[in-house]
A and B are shown apart, each in its own frame.
Chain A
Amino acid sequence: MRKGICFAALLFTALVSDAEADLLAHLTFTQSGSTFTYTLFNDEPLASPNFISLFHLEIDAPVSIIETPAGWDYATDDVTYIDWFSTSFESPYEYDLAPGASFTFVIESAEEATEFLPFSASAWDHVVDTSGPSYTDFVLAPSGQAVPEPSSLILLGIGSLGVIAYPRRTEQVARGR
């Protein structure tokens, strides 16, 4: 059962629907058990000066950062957000995500539940050498707010009763025999 969950991979592509879409980008998400993989695509035209240098992801569960693109670093509180950023500080900012390219970010969480949470990607204008456009949307991210529902509690209670009752039943059967 658990294997089934672990190997079940989800694929999600953030839709370009909300907020600011000045930057052409998209984010895909796959989940395999407790591993969450995000691939950020820079969809700007190849001649565009806008290279992605920042990726902000909100989360709602304790996580570990497993994979970060080369030349990038991150800031996080390990629970509510991760801010990945290119460490290039001088032109030509070689580690920035170029138009047409993609980077993969991998995190791991003990929580396999997800919910839609916001993310943003921001570009750096390599021609003007200034902050460029950004893109904000929502994507599935680890969520640790899975408080048991009343129905779950009932099921848990029934299950517990079963566990308690089983040895007694076994004893009775044994005695009967």
Chain B
Amino acid sequence: MSFEGHLLNRQADRRETTLSRKARGRKSSRPTVEMLEERALMASLVFGGGSIAAMVSGGGQIYADQSPIGVGAEGLRSFADAEFPIGAPFEPPFFAMNEFGPQHSGAAIDTKRSGGPAYGGDPGTLTIVQVTSAVGITSDPLGSYNSFGVAGTQSSEGNSYGAAIPLEIAADTPDELGKPVEITMAAGISGIRSPSVGSVGNYRISFNYKDQGGDLISGGEGQVDSVTSGQVTFNAVIGDVFQVSVLNQASVPAGGYFARSVFLSVRMDKAPTINPAINIDYISTSSFITTDSIELGASVTGVPSGTQVFWTVQGSGAAADVSGFPTNVVTTTDADGVATFRFTPSDNQALVTNRRTVWSQGSDKQNPAICFQVIASMNVNGKRFESRLSDTNLGDLKQDETDCLRQEYYDYDIPVPARSEVVPSLGLGYNAGNYGVQLSVGLDARYNAILAAYRGRQVTVTIAGQRYNTSIPDNAPVTISSGYRNPQRNRYVGSRIPESRHTRGSALDLVPSLVQVIIMVNGSSRRVTLPLHEVLYPALQAAASTQGIAIAEQGARQVPVGDLRENHIHVGWQ
């Protein structure tokens, strides 16, 4: 049985948790100046920079002096302490403790067991109760052991008791936040009472270093007897808030043994030996075109600020065969251990040449994406440490489909559309390009408007030398032979004008299908197929002219409207 988490209910705890979690993040998520000032003020109030003895109480009564561990805010302090104004009564729960605990320094403490025998009786189930007493805590300088009574227990065979104690590794100054520390927790048992059996029970004490969510971060366990103790060491950073619990398990022969007290001591050593490490943990974008400036950041630990970080960029994907990217460019770490690097791919003239020769020949397929591998490295004591972007969880530095399309405009040296101008494909016809995205300046709306202007349009047809008036049927089909074309596709189909309106999504090539109408010829009803060039093309050109400049074309060559060579009406607009 363990008792964890019940000390964490207070609003103040949650606020501190937020502060501390922020403090654990990267540079960008560290506390603001205001938060740090608040923290510093709080620390000074609680700890007073020295050995302030606070009067604490349980159940509204004053029981004992309290001197927080880690006085001076350099060591560990009780999480609850952070919200405890000097002189104010302590509000339970605080440190749980049973009546046998010798660590308290207050008056006699009323037993608050819920079940189980009285002292001296048979062992039984004993539940750790809420605060009945504050705990006497000795305050020692940094680096020494701070001992305090905790989770007072009385044990019996097969039972284990513990109470989670929230602790924060407090910082003296904002600069200390996030700095690595080494924590050693030790626990032992004293005050064993063995009324009839000579041997000492098997007491087991566990240390569980848990985060605020209760997830185990690190832990240890030691088999201890009445005089020895076990301990565990783990790494943490200043600003961490965590829980620790001590479990006391007793294998008690008949007659019973009692652990009179359990103590937990915590040692914090600042600046332990930390292995140097480098990790790329920031990238300004995951996609790009070659004129974009790309920024990366690497966090470095275990070395002082000002350490040199070497950056190398390697092309892959469509840039695999291109050399000349930054190699071993040096930046230095700032006070937060962060080194920042920026590069713009098109600063590499070899890449520009490659794009404007190899990738501007025309194609009916998507261009492959340009990708980059970025490597950050440092040398420490003759040893090289490196971080590769591909090994991080930041994702690849690789063009997405939208930027592959936008890149083509750069490759053809024509204005590059904004990402917001690139829309999902409108489907076959509207999108005669190579991608699942396209540009469209009202392609569908213009088509529908042209269709509406075409259908029902009055036309004249000549039959056997006689002219007859009729109209285009209301459901006459008009097909789109070409709409949007990406620059590569545009070149592929033979256009020599990279900045054709088709590449801007503001042009359509339209083809009328044959239609049939009823005409009264010599007094008899006759179904007539309207001729393409004499009737339908001129009608469609006139309809398309309502939406832009419409011309008849044979391929890419303009021909007179009604000419037998015409095979579509091209209409374009701004």
Specify which chain A residues have a CB less than 8 angstroms from the CB of B363 in the assembled complex.
Answer: 149
Instruction: Contact check, A85 vs B518: say whether CB atoms are below 8 A apart.
Output: no
Instruction: Contact check, A54 vs B527: say whether CB atoms are below 8 A apart.
Output: no
Instruction: Contact check, B475 vs A147: say whether CB atoms are below 8 A apart.
Output: no
B568 at the interface (CB under 8 A from A): yes
A85, B358: Cα distance in complex, Å: 46
A63, B306: Cα distance in complex, Å: 72
**A3-11, A132-140, A166-174: which one contacts chain B?**
A132-140
A75, B529: Cα distance in complex, Å: 11
Instruction: Contact check, A58 vs B481: say whether CB atoms are below 8 A apart.
Output: yes
Instruction: Contact check, A138 vs B511: say whether CB atoms are below 8 A apart.
Output: no
B269 at the interface (CB under 8 A from A): no
Size bracket, chain A contacts: 35 or more
Interface string of B39-79 (1 = CB under 8 A from A): 00000000000000000000000000000000000000000
- Among B508-522, those with CB < 8 Å from A are 511, 513-518
A60, B476: Cα distance in complex, Å: 22
With A75-B514, A93-B527: A147-B429 Cβ-Cβ less than 8 Å? no
With A145-B493, A150-B361: A80-B568 Cβ-Cβ less than 8 Å? yes
> In the complex, how many angstroms separate the beta carbon of A13 from the nearest chain B beta carbon?
15
Instruction: Contact check, A145 vs B492: say whether CB atoms are below 8 A apart.
Output: yes
Interface string of B259-302 (1 = CB under 8 A from A): 00000000000000000000000000000000000000000000
Instruction: Contact check, A124 vs B492: say whether CB atoms are below 8 A apart.
Output: no
Partner of B362 from A53, A115, A138, A147 at Cβ < 8 Å: A147
Instruction: Contact check, B567 vs A18: say whether CB atoms are below 8 A apart.
Output: no
Specify which chain B residues have a CB less than 8 angstroms from the CB of A136 in the assembled complex.
Answer: 477, 479
- Among B416-441, those with CB < 8 Å from A are 427-429
Residue total for B at the interface (Cβ-Cβ under 8 A) = 38
- Among A91-118, those with CB < 8 Å from B are 91, 93, 115-118
Partner of B479 from A115, A119, A130 at Cβ < 8 Å: A119
Specify which chain B residues have a CB less than 8 angstroms from the CB of A56 in the assembled complex.
Answer: 477, 479, 511, 513-514
Specify which chain B residues have a CB less than 8 angstroms from the CB of A53 in the assembled complex.
Answer: 516, 527
- Among B195-231, those with CB < 8 Å from A are none
Instruction: Contact check, B514 vs A20: say whether CB atoms are below 8 A apart.
Output: no
> In the complex, how many angstroms separate the beta carbon of A97 from the nearest chain B beta carbon?
13
Partner of A134 from B362, B476, B526 at Cβ < 8 Å: B476
Instruction: Contact check, A85 vs B493: say whether CB atoms are below 8 A apart.
Output: no
Instruction: Contact check, A89 vs B493: say whether CB atoms are below 8 A apart.
Output: no
With A80-B567, A124-B527, A138-B429: A85-B516 Cβ-Cβ less than 8 Å? yes
Instruction: Contact check, A131 vs B428: say whether CB atoms are below 8 A apart.
Output: no
Partner of A85 from B474, B477, B514, B517 at Cβ < 8 Å: B514
Instruction: Contact check, A58 vs B527: say whether CB atoms are below 8 A apart.
Output: no
Instruction: Contact check, A138 vs B526: say whether CB atoms are below 8 A apart.
Output: no
Instruction: Contact check, A134 vs B475: say whether CB atoms are below 8 A apart.
Output: yes
Partner of A129 from B476, B518, B532, B568 at Cβ < 8 Å: B518
A90, B520: Cα distance in complex, Å: 11
Instruction: Contact check, B518 vs A18: say whether CB atoms are below 8 A apart.
Output: no
- Among A135-158, those with CB < 8 Å from B are 136, 138, 145, 147, 149-150
> In the complex, how many angstroms separate the beta carbon of B179 from the nearest chain A beta carbon?
55
Specify which chain B residues have a CB less than 8 angstroms from the CB of A19 in the assembled complex.
Answer: 429
A136, B428: Cα distance in complex, Å: 12
> In the complex, how many angstroms separate the beta carbon of A67 from the nearest chain B beta carbon?
19
A35 at the interface (CB under 8 A from B): no
Partner of A81 from B365, B493, B511 at Cβ < 8 Å: B511
> In the complex, how many angstroms separate the beta carbon of A119 from the nearest chain B beta carbon?
7
Instruction: Contact check, A18 vs B527: say whether CB atoms are below 8 A apart.
Output: no
Specify which chain A residues have a CB less than 8 angstroms from the CB of B481 in the assembled complex.
Answer: 58, 80, 117-118
A88, B518: Cα distance in complex, Å: 12
Specify which chain A residues have a CB less than 8 angstroms from the CB of B358 in the assembled complex.
Answer: 150
Ordered by A's residue number, 18 sampled pairs between the chains whose C-beta atoms are within 8 Å are A18-B427, A20-B475, A56-B479, A56-B513, A77-B565, A85-B514, A89-B526, A89-B527, A90-B527, A116-B428, A118-B428, A122-B476, A130-B518, A131-B474, A147-B364, A147-B492, A149-B363, A150-B361
Binding site for A on B (CB under 8 A): 358, 361-365, 427-429, 473-477, 479-481, 492-494, 511, 513-518, 524-529, 532, 564-565, 567-568
Binding site for B on A (CB under 8 A): 18-20, 22, 53-54, 56, 58, 75, 77, 79-81, 83, 85, 88-91, 93, 115-120, 122, 124, 129-134, 136, 138, 145, 147, 149-150
Apart from A58-B479, A129-B525: 18 A-B pairs, beta carbons within 8 A: A22-B475, A53-B516, A56-B513, A83-B514, A88-B527, A89-B526, A90-B527, A93-B527, A115-B364, A120-B479, A120-B513, A124-B516, A131-B517, A134-B476, A134-B513, A145-B494, A147-B362, A147-B364
